[in-house]
Structure 1
């Protein structure tokens, strides 16, 4: 005969099972770290989407073909691999918070400079340098919060951090809609980049209020092999590193294909206006926001691997459905934008916790920064390939190539362990 415990024993606090138990479990310092990482990632997203949203105007201004416009995104993501790897090393050597501030300042500065570019070549260079900061912010911020989070709540906590991407994306769409409504296109795309100065305000908050998790910081300081590329390729970690790169490549190849080309697809092949495109993207982004939160919850319930596999399959299916909607069925296009955004975002919710749990504290920054951003760099060639294929296949047809990335992600999971419940310190 078994009994069920329904009341806490004397002196024992009842278990917190509320909707925001994960946030309360962080404690005061952890919540301040959460605020800094959430804001940094939201503004990282905002600065990234200034390019895809302005791509049609930029292409017209500099007389670019689809391959050249796709290269602007690719070079950002390729250089982000370098930025992410360097930021990971910095996070292991000088601390998570200091590295976070460096990444935010970097991506804000070069986003603003993009708005002053006199020609395509200069814009390409500034956008590449923006990638240095863009690549490092997520990895550093995710590790900072992961080391405060409990094993029980880590998935949904990092899922909430991921939802900041949708918040920044939404803000970019709102600003884009207003700017392109009231300014001519040749000026509007520059103004979009100039608004990328917003993250500078966040640095002030982080510097004053955020600190590294004490136990993790102490373990990092006392380790002999912190911040080392050779460490993540040593015998006990090499397999993990290789398969984590493949996983990241597949997921981000699929994602950035959509993020880069959907606005152009809606305009060039669906004939939507600026306001119409913003309305359709609103469904996509709202689905993304809910997807991040739902995926964060499911990664704690189902496990890291099952959550990623589930949404990889669903994301590939959504791409095929979204790009095969009959001409004129714009209402259906609107409705399917929600599940598309939901699935391709929910898959990311487990990344912050999964990659952090795959590596020991001393090289966690290096491991997460390298694998996530190397995958981003290789996956970055997907948008460029779509750009070149668009000439013969059309943008909609070429977007189907993104489904290949999600297939690669499922295969990569076979080489990685399940880490749900793993303690970090």
Structure 2
């Protein structure tokens, strides 16, 4: 199917070249799907960051060492692999919208329950179960929007969906700053988790307004292998599945190492207060938001692989620079937060479009859910490793392991095809 045929099939206008042409090209139904996916991913991000932002208080409350604290993040990300695979299979068997609602409800319920945890072990279990919903939301939401988007605009459209992560992160930092400013830390971390009930409100919008893309839904329903887990390992897809998983492992290992430990690094090694930490994170998050949008534009202009390779190199360099700033030079730390957030987020902008384009409609949810979340699960061991090594290396010293993740991602690209301009089938 050519790009020029897309308006008749999908109701899009792919030749719209204005600043928001990608949004107009989605059409009314596509824009509602975009709203649901954006909101779901923003609140997914919000619920995820309730833990990293509260880790110092949680560690003190339960008397944890850095290894135990890091395990809270790792178990979330490891179980997210299971959630991602299950959500992908559900998306291929039940449809994208139904699977999206299930994932949102799951991560909201278990985030709230974390706030009631009486001990470390219970918190670990609830956080793991939160990972089931957390792992599936992005893959399902990204596919839902990708199937409405034209090949011409798909990169920047999915980059805009990715920017929701920064929006949710920013909201979490704002709430964290207020909650920890006015409440005792022993109470504040619980309140942070209780605010994770917010995503439940999104379900009402999704149920009333969002539907699957008609053309993709028809292809999914008429396929005999829809939702088949083994299909993503068949001969013609095996190489793609293996290298896409390796790519996800490297990128997410680097990202979650920083997302998990930078707040702790700013407090314990740079001596910043709660408000000070929020200010520094604001620069990091602002860079992330701009990075998502810029990366989405570049992935359409220079290609999926070139965009990922470029920002893998820049992210690795940014980590090394950020963690080697001399003591007392906190002003430079503030300034470097923006480009670091920019690079580590721009690399993700092409993921939604790239992984969607690597798989046919019948197994698109399964393939994207498996590769993205399995990579996240394996990469999740880097935050735990940082936690254990930080006792001897310091948090800042151990954070450089994130650079190794980006090197792995660049290597994985050698085994994957370029898909820019590809129509979804």
Distance 1:163 1:15 in 2: 24
Aligned partners of 2:312 and 2:347 also within 8 Å: yes
- For residue 100 of structure 1, report the CA deviation from its aligned partner: 0.1
> Who is 1:155 aligned against?
155
Aligned-residue CA RMSD (Å): 0.8
Q: Secondary structure at the match of 1:237?
A: helix
Unaligned runs of 5+ in 2: 1-12
Distance 2:40 2:16 in 1: 28
> Who is 1:144 aligned against?
144
> Who is 2:56 aligned against?
56
> Who is 2:7 aligned against?
none
> Who is 1:225 aligned against?
225
Distance 1:142 1:20 in 2: 19
Superposed, which structure 2 residues align to 1:360-375 within 5 Å? 360-375=360-375
Aligned partners of 2:315 and 2:343 also within 8 Å: yes
- For residue 54 of structure 1, report the CA deviation from its aligned partner: 0.1
> Who is 2:313 aligned against?
313
Distance 2:343 2:226 in 1: 35
Q: For each residue in 1:169-211, what CA deviation from the matched residue of structure 2 results, as whole angstroms up to 9, or x when unmatched?
A: 0000000000000000000000000000000000000000000
CA distance change for structure 1 residues 86 and 14 in 2, over 3 Å: closer, same or farther?
closer
- For residue 15 of structure 1, report the CA deviation from its aligned partner: 4.3
> Who is 2:385 aligned against?
385
Superposed, which structure 2 residues align to 1:278-317 within 5 Å? 278-317=278-317
- For residue 229 of structure 1, report the CA deviation from its aligned partner: 1.2
Q: Structure 1 residue 324 and structure 2 residue 324: aligned?
A: yes
> Who is 1:91 aligned against?
91
Q: Secondary structure at the match of 1:424?
A: coil
Runs (4+) of structure 1 moved beyond 3 Å?
A: none
> Who is 1:181 aligned against?
181
Q: For each residue in 1:313-372, what CA deviation from the matched residue of structure 2 results, as whole angstroms up to 9, or x when unmatched?
A: 000000000000000000000000000000000000000000000000000000000000
Distance 1:14 1:99 in 2: 28
Q: Secondary structure at the match of 1:414?
A: helix
- TM-score of the two chains, using structure 2 as the length reference: 0.97
Distance 2:264 2:78 in 1: 21
- For residue 17 of structure 1, report the CA deviation from its aligned partner: 1.5
Superposed, which structure 2 residues align to 1:40-51 within 5 Å? 40-51=40-51
Q: For each residue in 1:230-253, what CA deviation from the matched residue of structure 2 results, as whole angstroms up to 9, or x when unmatched?
A: 100000000000000000000000
- For residue 14 of structure 1, report the CA deviation from its aligned partner: 11
Distance 1:17 1:79 in 2: 41
Aligned partners of 2:14 and 2:25 also within 8 Å: no
Distance 1:202 1:386 in 2: 35
- For residue 16 of structure 1, report the CA deviation from its aligned partner: 2.1
Q: Structure 1 residue 407 and structure 2 residue 407: aligned?
A: yes
Superposed, which structure 2 residues align to 1:249-260 within 5 Å? 249-260=249-260
Distance 1:70 1:15 in 2: 47
Superposed, which structure 2 residues align to 1:111-150 within 5 Å? 111-150=111-150
Distance 1:354 1:408 in 2: 18
Aligned partners of 2:96 and 2:141 also within 8 Å: yes
- TM-score of the two chains, using structure 1 as the length reference: 0.97
Q: For each residue in 1:39-73, what CA deviation from the matched residue of structure 2 results, as whole angstroms up to 9, or x when unmatched?
A: 00000000000000000000000000000000000
CA distance change for structure 1 residues 214 and 319 in 2, over 3 Å: closer, same or farther?
same
